[in-house]
Each structure stands twice: as C-alpha cells, then as structure tokens.
Amino acid sequence: MSDEGFRIVSAHDTLFADVEAVFGTRGDPAHCWCQWYKIPGSEWRLTDDELRDRLAEQVAEPATNAGLVAYDGQTPVGWCAIEPRSHLPRLRTKRIVRDGSRRPDLDDPGVWALTCFVVPREHRRRGVAAALAAGAVEHARANGARIVEGYAIDPAVRAKVPAADLFVGTVSMFAGAGFVEVARPTPARAVMEIVLAE
C-alpha cells in the first residue's frame, strides 16, 4: 500500500526492529506499546519490556492484524493500531465507545477499530498519520472488516491539545480517509466510522 509518498506495510510483514524504531525508548509509546486497549486496567502492571514483548508476539501472529508501519523510503516513520474491535477488551469500558458507537455488539469480528497512531517527532506534520489512516482502511477491507471505527479528537474544539493526546487521531484526518462522524460523546471526542460492506 502507498499513500502520500509513504509505503504502508502490515507489521507482520516487516522487521519488529522497525516497529521498535518508531516507538522509541522515551515518551508514552515506549511505555504502552499499543497495549492500553488490550489489557484490562486491573492487569496494567507489566513492565515496558513485557509490553514490548506482547506487541512483538501480536505482530508475529498474522491472525491478529495488530497494526501497520509507514515507511519513507527505507526509514520507518509511523505506526497505527488497526484490528478487530473484539480484540480490545478495554474499549468495552470506554464512554466514547459505549455512548457513541452505532455498533453495540463488541464481539462482532467484522467491526474493526483504528485506535492508535505513533509518529516520531522528527516525522510529524508530513502526513504520516493520514497515510496510515488511509492504509488502515485498505488493510481492514482486505482482511474482512465490514466497518472501521475511530475515536478521534477534535483540536478545533479543544484548544492546545498536547501531542500526547493526539495518539487517537484527529477528526479531520479520519475524514480525509473517508470516515464520517457518527457521534460526539464529548465536545472534543468524536466516533468516526467508515462502512466497507453491509
């Protein structure tokens, strides 16, 4: 897959070292490793290394469809988490999903969630996340998704959004990938959806 000049690759089909290069060793990505929605809060006691190892196991297993890596040439420049919503138990407790999703069956394997973007600081403001969002739609479609949801933040409503809060993506970025807003559970958070098949 390619968009905006970036090459988008399933994490299963690339080196985990490239995923590690995107997540880095500092900041929220290096302390979460896209496990936040996968581990119930009562079990959130793993070390950074254990979280990294869990992601490594997930991307090694093709059936998990854990995420995508964006490349600029040979350089890994971004990551997004895209997989069936049923793989993400913590989403069950999130107000934005509970109050905003038009798809209440959280066990439906045809509903996928685009939950997280990681773009290292030196690669930001170049369209990496937008390319990943578009690539995630195609990846989900190719793997049998009927619906993809995102839980975006709206910087136009919430002034001075810290970079750490943008990991969910923005309303405009999702809209650019073909998503439409279907709910606004809070003033600054929107449920975005794209229907791939009914």
Q: What percent of the chain has pLDDT over 70?
A: 97
Helix axes 16-23, 48-60, angle to 10 degrees: 140
> Would you state the structure tokens that stand for residue 107, as one six-digit string?
């066990």
Residue 26: give its domain's CATH number. Answer: 3.40.630.30
Into how many domains does the chain fold?
A: 1
Confidence of residue 65 (pLDDT cuts 50, 70, 90): low
pLDDT digits (tens, 9 = 90+) for 81-99: 999 999 998 888 888 888 7
* Domain of residue 136, residue span: 2-195
d(CA 57, CA 68): 15
**pTM, two decimal places:** 0.91
Q: Is 192 helix (H, G, I), strand (E, B) or coil?
A: strand
pLDDT digits (tens, 9 = 90+) for 109-162: 999 999 999 998 888 888 999 999 999 999 999 999 999 999 999 988 877 877
